[in-house]
């Protein structure tokens, strides 16, 4: 497992080393939905864009 910092709350997530870019994780501590990004071999997390564009009128 790799420890990656949550960009929302600053806490740590354990990410399996064989995870792929674009995989989604939920941080239980803050409930954020996070997407894995691999940047030059380093695991990073960014906030996943919710596909919930429900702005219909």
Nearest approach, Cβ of residue 43 and Zn ion (Å): 15
Cα dihedral angle (9, 11, 14, 17), rounded to 10 degrees? 80
Count of residues of this chain found to bind Zn ion when the rule CB under 5 A is applied:
8
Interaction of residue 27 with Zn ion, rule CB under 5 A: yes
Cβ(22)–Cβ(35) below 8 Å: yes
Interaction of residue 48 with Zn ion, rule CB under 5 A: no
Interaction of residue 6 with Zn ion, rule CB under 5 A: yes
Cβ proximity to Zn ion, 9 vs 24, nearer residue: 9
Residue 3's nearest CA partner among 21, 27, 23, 22 is: 27
């Amino acid at each position: 497992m790799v420890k990656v910092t949550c960009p929302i709350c600053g806490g740590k997530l354990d990410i399996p080393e064989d995870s792929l870019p674009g995989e989604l994780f939920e941080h239980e501590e803050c409930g954020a939905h996070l997407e894995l990004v691999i940047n030059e071999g380093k695991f990073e997390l960014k906030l996943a864009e919710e596909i919930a564009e429900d702005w219909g009128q």
